[in-house]
């Protein structure tokens, strides 16, 4: 899923910097799409958020390293 070939063939935004954004749309970093209210609504829906978390862990593996609350300890 993270290969250049797959990311370039999805016609969607990519996590890779060298894959262009969809035609006519700004890149993820360039867009004004970060809305804290919408983010709160998304993570507040536990079923949906846990489903995404499970999908990512299945595809990428579990998170490694220190958690955000244990940094610098």
Phi, psi (rounded to 5 degrees) for 22: -55, 150
pLDDT at 33: 62
- 54 domain-assigned: yes
pLDDT at 57: 93
- 66 domain-assigned: no
22: DSSP letter: S
pLDDT at 58: 93
- 36 domain-assigned: yes
- 51 domain-assigned: yes
- 14 domain-assigned: no
The model's pTM: 0.38
pLDDT, tens digit (0-9, with 9 covering 90-100), for 36-45: 777 788 778 8
Q: What is the domain extent for residue 32? A: 25-61
Distance CA 67, CA 65 (A): 7
pLDDT, tens digit (0-9, with 9 covering 90-100), for 14-70: 878 888 888 888 777 676 666 677 778 877 888 888 888 899 999 999 888 877 776
DSSP count for the chain of H helices, then E strands: 3, 0
pLDDT at 32: 64
- Indicate the length of the chain as a whole number: 73
- The total of structural domains in the chain comes to 1
């Amino acid at each position: 899923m993270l290969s250049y070939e797959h990311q370039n063939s999805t016609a969607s935004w990519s996590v890779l910097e060298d894959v262009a954004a969809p035609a006519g749309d700004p890149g993820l970093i360039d867009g004004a799409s970060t809305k804290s209210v919408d983010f709160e609504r998304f993570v507040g829906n536990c079923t949906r958020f846990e489903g995404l978390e499970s999908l990512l862990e299945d595809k990428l593996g579990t998170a490694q390293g220190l958690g955000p609350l244990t940094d610098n300890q």
